Structure 1
Amino acid sequence: MNHNEPDLILFTTDGCHLCDIASQVIANAIDLEQVYVELVDIAEEPEADQLIEDYGTRLPVVKHLASDREIDWPFDSPTFAKWFDVVSR
């Protein structure tokens, strides 16, 4: 499915091995053809100072844009799938 706007944002940064793991966990938990996940490197965005303050010690963090709810690491695929089901209602 082609999306113009992301459903989820995965906040990450360069060299974050937990972010790489989280990306795989997400891919195992949801259908990425139906859900658009945007990767956002907090250090590379125009509002980097604020993003680093908000997320720098919490990475990886996934934000569901429609509900404005977040899930912090650690999470596994079943936990993520359940969270996504709840926030998507």
Structure 2
Amino acid sequence: MSHLKLFQRDDCHLCDLALEVLANARSPDFESVFIDDDDALEARYGIRVPVLRDEARGVELDWPFDVDALGRFLAR
């Protein structure tokens, strides 16, 4: 299981853009977590998605991010 999670929604244009950034950066494997049907996740991430969370370090990268920002986040 990956230590990276991308919190996102179904039919989310910004989430699609985040997935594109992750692909372009050749990021490590990550788990997609859809918040749509989870009240707790909706309360936490509702207006923030997409959010990339590093579970091992307990840190999050909020949208918007680009390849450079993602690289810095992953290198910390």
TM-score band by shorter chain is over 0.9
In the other structure, the counterpart of 2:14 is: 18
Deviations 1:37-84 (A, max 9, x none): 11111124xxx1110000001010000010010000001111111111
TM-score of the aligned structures, taking structure 1 as reference length? 0.80
Question: Where do 5+ consecutive residues of structure 2 fail to align?
Answer: none
Question: Where do 5+ consecutive residues of structure 1 fail to align?
Answer: none
TM-score of the aligned structures, taking structure 2 as reference length? 0.92
Dislocated runs of 4+, deviation >6 Å = none
TM-superposed CA distance for 1:7, in Å, is 2.2
Q: Is the 8 A contact 1:9 1:62 kept in 2?
A: yes
Aligned residues: 76
Superposition pairs of residues 30-41 of structure 1, within 5 angstroms: 30-31=26-27, 35-41=28-34
